[in-house]
Chains A and B, each alone.
Chain A
Amino acid sequence: MRSNFQLALVLSAFGAAALLVACSREDRILRQPPPANQTINSVQVSGLNPGANSMPTPPPSNMYQESAYAVSEGQKLYEQYNCVGCHAHGGGGIGPPLMDNNWIYGSEAGNIFTTIMQGRPNGMPSFRNRVPEYQAWEIAAYVRSMSGLLPKGVSPGRPDHMSVKPSEASTPPQTPTGITGSPEQHQ
Chain B
Amino acid sequence: MTTPTKCWLRNLFLPALFLIFFAAYTEVPHAAAQDAMLQPQTEKNYQPHSYQGKVEPDDGQWTRPAKDYASTRYSSLDQINTNNVKNLKLAFTFSTGMTRGHEAAPLIVNNTMYIVTPFPNSLYALDLTKPGAPMKWVYQPLPTPASQGVACCDVVNRGASYDDGKIFYNTLDDQTVAVDANTGKQVWKTQIGDINKGESITMAPIVAKGKVLVGNSGGEFGIRGWLTALDEKTGKIAWRAYSAGPDKDVLIGPKFKPFYPQDRGQDLGVKTWPPDAWKIGGAGVWGWISYDPQLNLIYYGTANPGPWDSEARPGDNKFSSGIFARDADTGEAIWFYQYSPHDLYDYDGVNENILLDLPIKGQTRKVLIHPDRNGYVYVLDRTTGEVLSANPFAPITTSRGVDLKTGLLQYVTEKQPMVGKVVRNLCPTAPGAKDWQPSAFSPRTGLVYIPHNNLCMDEEDVTANYIAGTPYVGANVRMYDAPGGYGGAFTAWDPIEGKVVWSNPDHFPVWSGALATAGDVVFYGTLDGWFKAVDAHNGSLLWQFKTGSGIIGQPVSYKGPDGKQYIAILSGVGGWAGAIVAGGLDPRDESAALGFAAVMKDLPKYTTKGGMLYVFALP
Contacts and interface: CB of A to CB of B under 8 A. Distances in A.
> Does A associate with B in a complex?
yes
A124 B465 CA distance: 18
Contacts, number: 122
A109 B422 CA distance: 33
A135 to B, nearest CB: 13
B373 to A, nearest CB: 19
Contacts of B462: 79, 161
A74 B45 CA distance: 62
B465 A165 contact: no
Contacts of A94: 148-149, 151-152, 471, 583
Contacts of B152: 94
Interface in A107-130: 119, 121-125, 130
Given A81-B465, A81-B467, A91-B592, A86 B587 contact: no
Contact of B148 (A81, A99, A122, A164): A122
Contact of A4 (B1, B467, B476, B587): B1
Contacts of A162: 422, 458, 460, 476, 478, 591
Interface in B148-195: 148-152
A16 B560 CA distance: 82
A117 to B, nearest CB: 15
A82 B148 contact: no
Given A123-B149, A123-B150, A82 B589 contact: no
Nearest to A123: B149
A122 B146 CA distance: 5
Determine chain A's interface SS by DSSP, over half rule.
loop
Given A82-B471, A85-B472, A92-B584, A165 B590 contact: yes
B459 to A, nearest CB: 8
A133 to B, nearest CB: 18
A123 B145 contact: yes
A96 B587 contact: no
Given A85-B471, A161-B460, A166 B588 contact: yes
Contact of B476 (A97, A121, A123, A164): A164
Interface string B576-596: 000100011111111111110
A104 to B, nearest CB: 10
A93 interface: yes
Which of B465, B585, B595 has the most chain A CB within a 10 Å cutoff?
B585
A161 B589 contact: no
Contacts of B151: 94, 123
A91 B145 contact: no
Contacts of A85: 220, 470-473
Contacts of A100: 586
Nearest to B590: A164
B469 interface: yes
A80 B150 CA distance: 17
Nearest to A79: B462
A123 B152 CA distance: 11
A93 B473 CA distance: 13
A123 B149 CA distance: 4
A121 B152 CA distance: 17
B591 A89 contact: yes
Nearest to A4: B1
B320 interface: no
A86 B471 contact: yes
B147 interface: yes
Contact of B594 (A80, A93, A99, A119): A93
B585 A97 contact: yes
A164 B589 contact: yes
A123 B473 CA distance: 18
B149 A125 contact: yes
Contacts of A89: 476, 589, 591-592
B131 interface: no
A85 B422 CA distance: 18
A122 B473 CA distance: 21
Nearest to A98: B586
Contact of A99 (B149, B586, B598): B586
Contacts of B57: none
B592 A93 contact: yes
B4 interface: yes
A3 interface: yes
Contacts of A119: 146
Interface in B1-38: 1, 4
Which of A82, A90, A95, A130 has the most chain B CB within a 10 Å cutoff?
A82
Contact of B146 (A86, A95, A123): A123
Nearest to A6: B4
B586 A92 contact: yes
A166 B452 CA distance: 31
Contacts of A88: 585, 589, 591-594, 597
Interface in B117-154: 145-152
Contacts of B146: 119, 121-123, 125
26 contacts: A4-B1, A79-B462, A81-B465, A85-B471, A85-B472, A86-B149, A88-B597, A90-B588, A91-B587, A91-B588, A91-B590, A91-B597, A92-B585, A92-B586, A92-B592, A93-B579, A94-B149, A94-B583, A95-B149, A97-B586, A100-B586, A122-B149, A123-B149, A162-B460, A164-B590, A165-B591
Interface of B: 1, 4, 145-152, 220, 422, 458, 460, 462, 464-465, 467, 469-473, 476, 478, 579, 583-595, 597-598
Given A90-B588, A91-B590, A164-B595, 7 more contacts: A90-B592, A97-B586, A99-B588, A123-B146, A130-B467, A162-B476, A162-B591
Q: What are the 9 A-B residue pairs with the smallest beta carbon separation, nearest first? A: A85-B471, A91-B589, A91-B592, A123-B149, A123-B148, A97-B586, A164-B591, A162-B460, A82-B470
